[in-house]
Amino acid sequence: MLKLQVPHRLTLLGFGATIAVLALLLTWAVPAGNVHAQDAGGAMSIAIDGSGVDCDGDECIVDPGTDFTLTISVDEAPDAGYIGIATQIDYKNLTYTRTEMATEEVLISVDGFPGIVVRTPEDDTSLVGHGMTAGTPPFTTSQFTGPIVELAMTCTDDYTRNEVALAPFQDPGNTLGTGFKLPAEAGGASVPAGDDLLVHCGPPPTPTPGPSATPTAGPALPTTGTGDAGSSDTAMVLSIAALLAAAALTSVGVLAWKQARR
C-alpha cells in the first residue's frame, strides 16, 4: 500500500514542495533559534535479529555468511513530539541489501508517517540514511515510539568485527545523521540521537597469551637479625680478638725474655 501512496503524494506536491521537504529532511532546515533543543528528550536504538544471531547486551555474534535483520527504533519521543525523523547507519563490513523502494524499509505508519521518504546515498557505501516526515505540510506532531526502519543485512563469510553505529545528527558535521525534527511551536530545532552495536561475524578469536614474564631477582640486601648470619659475624669478631690477644701476649713474652738476659 505504501508503494502506491508515496509516489502519488510526491506527484501531487509538485517539484518545488518536494525539494522543500527534502531540505527539511536532509539539512534539517535550521531555525533562527538553537540548532539543538536543550533537554528536549528523544532517543533511538538499533538491534539485530535472525537465525544464527546471539546477542548479549550491545554485543552480538552472528554465524558467518548469515542473513539477519537490523531494526532502528524510537525508544523515547522528544517531550514536544516530532514532525520528522532522520536515521543514518554505518554498517562497516556487513552487506546491506537495499529494497527497490525506500518505503519498503519503513515500519512506522501512524501520525501521517511516512509522509515523504528519502533514502541516501543510493550507491554502495557503508552508510545508508533514511528521512521521513509526519504527513505533508502542515506536518502532524507525533509521539510514536517503536520500530521505524528495517534493513536486510548479511554477515561476512570470514570473521570480522563490526562496530555498527547509528550516527547522530551534528551541525556542523553530520547533517545527514540521526535525529528528530521538532514542530515549529517547539522551536523547530533538531534533536540528535544515536546508538552503537558491536556485531561479530563468527566467534571472536581467542586471545593468544603472551610469554610469561620471569621475575628478576633484586639486589642482595645485607642480612640483619640474630640468625645464622649474626652468629657468623660474632665468630669473626671473636677470632680477630683472639688473634690480637695472642699477638699481645707474644709481644709481652719477648720483652720479658730480653729483660731477663740483661
Which pTM was predicted?
0.70
Could you list the beta-strand ranges (E) of 155-238.
160-166, 179-181, 190-192, 195-201
The answer to whether 87 and 130 have CB atoms below 8 angstroms apart is yes
**pLDDT the model gives residue 35:** 53
Give pLDDT, residue 143: 97
- The Cα–Cα gap between 35 and 172 comes to 10
pLDDT score of 213 more than 50: yes
Domains present along the chain, CATH in parentheses:
2-201 (2.60.40.680)
pLDDT higher for 123 or 36?
Answer: 123
Q: Higher-confidence residue: 51 or 14?
A: 51
Asked if residue 98 has pLDDT above 80, the reply is: yes
3-state secondary structure of 65: coil
Q: Are strands 195-201 and 59-62 parallel, antiparallel or unpaired?
A: parallel
Confidence label for 218 from pLDDT (cuts 50, 70 and 90): low
Q: Which helix (H) or strand (E) holds 22?
A: helix 2-26
Q: Which tops the pLDDT comparison, 71 or 10?
A: 71
pLDDT(167) > 60: yes
Worst-scoring range by mean pLDDT, 100-104, 106-110, 223-227, 252-256? Answer: 252-256
Q: Which residues pair with 160 in a beta bridge?
A: 201
The grid cell for 246 is: 695472642
pLDDT in tens, 246-260: 444 344 343 343 444
Preceding amide of 203 cis, omega within 30: no
pLDDT interval class at 149 (50, 70, 90): very high
Cα(204)–Cα(234) distance, rounded to whole angstroms? 65
For residue 142, pLDDT beyond 70: yes
Confidence of residue 215 (pLDDT cuts 50, 70, 90): low
Percent of the chain with pLDDT over 70: 65
DSSP for 86-153, please give it: EEEEE-TTSEEE--SSGGGGB---STT-SSSEEEE--SSSSEEEEEEESSSSSPPPB---EEEEEEEE
Per-residue pLDDT reduced to its tens digit, 175-203: 889 999 999 999 999 999 999 999 999 99
Q: Is 28 exposed, middle or buried (0-12, 13-18, 19+ CB in 10 A)?
A: buried
